[in-house]
Amino acid sequence: MKRSGTRELSDFYPIRPECQADVPTTRFKPRYGKTLSERRWQASFDEEGRLDIAKVLRRIQRGGVHPSIKGVVMEFLLGCYDPNSTFDERNELKQRRRGQYDMWKAECQKIAPVLGSGKFVTTPLLNEDGQPTDPSLVTVTNPDKKVAQWLMLLHQIGLDVVRTDRSLVFYEDEGNQAKLWDVLSIYAWLDNDIGYVQGMNDICSPLVILIENEADCYWCFDRAMRRMRENFRCTASSMGVQSQLGTLSQIIKTVDPKLHHHLEDLDGGEYLFAFRMLMVLFRREFSFADTLYLWELMWGMEYNPNIFARYEDPERAKTKGVTPAANDKVLKQYGKFERKYLKAGHTEENSALAVFLVASVLETKNKRILTEAKGVDDVVKILGDITSSLDAKKACDEALKLQKRYLLKTTKKA
């Protein structure tokens, strides 16, 4: 970490020369003594492989994660592994998951052989009559409803893949684009309810870049979607992030009623202008490197040590909860944001840190919105000006302060 932080980032996430002027400026730099380094990461495991998650969270919340280990750290933050598991237990789980992914992939390849070939499609695989447009790409005729719906998604996924992180050298390689397409396609095959929705590509892409093994990447994406899946559930009458937008409205109404009333007067009381920020976790507002920094800060601050059990064994997880009276040693295994909710006795499903981040951005633009915004379009423009000017660490710190104010006010009311 003695080298220039900027130079390191350009080595890890090189940007195409012709795109340099169009991408947001990166603010994150690995900082010696603050950023979680590879050496400190390795030192956080005991001899058998159990991770001191409290120590790791402290370091992440101080200075993020060094680019060389972001992928493996993300796997723990997203709940792929239990920090109390051993090296052998995790390796056994990893091999089992890889085998499961290979089975799912083989199942999909029987229908669409292009999957796993290093290629991907951007044109429809079925015609208007529901028949294959190219027999070499689709092996079934008269597909049933599930197969037909999945096949109709594949070219849509392909079109989004082409548009994903185009400024990065990584995606100049069609094989890397195909890896992203494969992961999203298999996820869509397995999720019968939501399937694929535009925006999932923006969540999956960083994981594809950080995690070399495709199966490991899929499982990490699956865990990320466990947190965000409802954001992508859209119907004719509602959008997925509506519940979080409702929470955002409640937060601003509680901590800044004047701003909330002004937004209501502008017909922005439903906070639809924040849709994109919440949907793809600020991908448009930050550079690629700063997005990773923001995500690891957020997921570190939201970390709950029961997250692995919650995904792997939900019934057992219910018995492993923590009460506000839990001792400090136990509470230190939780991220700052989650810890404050526990101490206050709150359990609000839609109060993700991302919601407080949006609220803190609105608070910083309070004066401009109150004096300049004459309509919702003006609010959108004012918020659009934050691109390249937001600092991920400061944004998270402000979100934590806002959470504290919100909890104080709501607790008093209760």
pLDDT at 3: 45
- Report d(CA 336, CA 58) in Å as an integer: 9
CA dihedral 184, 190, 194, 200 (to 10 degrees): -20
pLDDT at 238: 65
pLDDT at 384: 86
- Report d(CA 207, CA 227) in Å as an integer: 15
Name the amino acid, one letter, at 295: W
DSSP one-letter string for 302-354: T--TTHHHHHH-HHHHHTT---TT--HHHHTTS-HHHHHHHHHT---TT--HH
Q: How many CB atoms lie within 10 A of CB 54?
A: 18
CA 38 from centroid of its chain's CA atoms: 23
* Residue 392 · residue 294 · CB < 8 Å: yes
C-alpha distances out from residue 199 to 165, 207, 234, 252, 280, Å: 12, 14, 12, 26, 6
Structure-token pair, residue 288: 């690629």
pLDDT at 236: 60
* Residue 125 · residue 151 · CB < 8 Å: yes
pLDDT at 154: 98
pLDDT at 394: 93
pLDDT at 74: 98
- pLDDT, averaged per 10 consecutive residues of the chain (414 residues), comes to 53 92 88 94 98 97 96 98 98 98 98 97 94 93 94 98 97 98 98 94 98 98 94 74 92 96 92 92 92 97 94 68 62 92 69 92 94 95 84 93 92 64
pLDDT at 349: 55
- Report d(CA 228, CA 354) in Å as an integer: 11
pLDDT at 320: 57
Task: Evaluate if pTM is beyond 0.85.
Answer: yes
Q: Which residue has the tokens 């005991």?
A: 46
pLDDT at 134: 93
- CA geometry: angle 274, 169, 189, nearest 5 deg: 60
pLDDT at 22: 87
Q: How many CB atoms lie within 10 A of CB 132?
A: 19
